[in-house]
Amino acid sequence: MKAVVYERYGSPDVLEFKDIAKPVPKDNEFLIRIHATTVNRTDCGLREADPFIARFFTGLIRPKNKILGTEFAGEVEAIGKDVKQFKKGDHVFGHSGDKFGAHAEYICLTEDDPVAIKPDNMTYEEAASVCDGAILALTYLSKANIQKGHKVLIYGASGSIGTAGVQLAKYYGAEVTGVCSTTNLEMVSSLGADEVIDYTKEDFTQTDQTYEVVFDAVGKSSFSRCKNLLKAGGIYFSTELGYMAQNPFLDLWTSMFGSKKVMFPLPKYTKKDVLFFKELIEMGKIKAVIDRQYTLEQIVEAYMYVEKGHKKGNVVITLDRGSQ
């Protein structure tokens, strides 16, 4: 099968397009022919081993798992004898978790992995764009126990995590303020944001408004800068892994002192969450936001684009263009 492999850490140029052995499902696994996958910030960070602490999980000297990619949508091609929930020909979508491996034509997963039948009202490309951003956004927003009428500010509302966050916060009944650049104002508003702030024209922290939740979905702000935006008992979240030394410390410190909290929950990629997203998609509560599409052969170009930090929603890799 064709796959994108990396043998060492570094820039997008370390990625190699290769022919490797097609995986064979074990008794408890099923084989998925991938039609679409994505390139996201996690892929970029792991490829470059940034932050360095990531190497303790991915390989200290060189990557242990040679194929990146976590989000996918495709078709079940074969099943092991113990698989009961899926059958050959099923159209599925999901997240491969810490197994990665989605930047390839095929992947083997188990029934316990975060995989579900693809919603009929989504293409493969759209379905592949859901899980990573939505799971990360759900991890943070569910921790805040958002109630109807709560006010939520999402900084970086136009990225993959931010666009999912806006839609999930609205589903929970929050009043959402999105912060993004001029070119993304209309798109963020179309996702349901009640107010949209253009950070290129005004400082979103200089306002009299206060919020139950401030969610920095791109990791470019800080608790100290956003603290005045929080109500008493309010919570600040940031996705920035570069502050690995800061966020857990602030999480502990603010849990003991003060009325405004920092929380740094770690995501868990579960089948339950993917089934929840499937339900929301079918209800019309969540839609995919796709910025650009590339072929698997163009994946280096896709990584370079993602690393510019200005993508709108998701960047999709198609292995079977035009499929449904």
CATH code of the domain containing 259: 3.40.50.720
Position 237 scores a pLDDT of: 92
Q: Average pLDDT, whole number, for the chain?
A: 92
Q: What are the tens digits of pLDDT across the range 115-128?
A: 999 999 999 999 99
Q: What are the tens digits of pLDDT across the range 30-87?
A: 999 999 999 999 999 999 998 787 788 889 999 999 999 999 999 999 999 999 999 9
Residue whose C-alpha is closest to residue 127's, from 94, 104, 159, 157 = 94
Number of domains within the chain: 2
Q: Is residue 269 part of a domain?
A: no
pLDDT reading at 315 higher than 80: yes
One domain, residues 214 and 296 = no
Q: Is residue 324 part of a domain?
A: no
One domain, residues 39 and 106 = yes
- The answer to whether 103 touches 37, Cβ cutoff 8 Å, is yes
pTM given for the model: 0.92
Q: Is residue 275 part of a domain?
A: no
What value does the mean pLDDT take over residues 296-306? 97
pLDDT reading at 256 higher than 70: no
CATH code of the domain containing 10: 3.90.180.10
pLDDT reading at 154 higher than 50: yes
Q: Angle formed by the axes of helices 271-283 and 131-143, to 10°?
A: 100
Residue whose C-alpha is closest to residue 17's, from 303, 324, 309, 310 = 303
- The domain containing residue 123 runs over which residues? 2-130+288-318
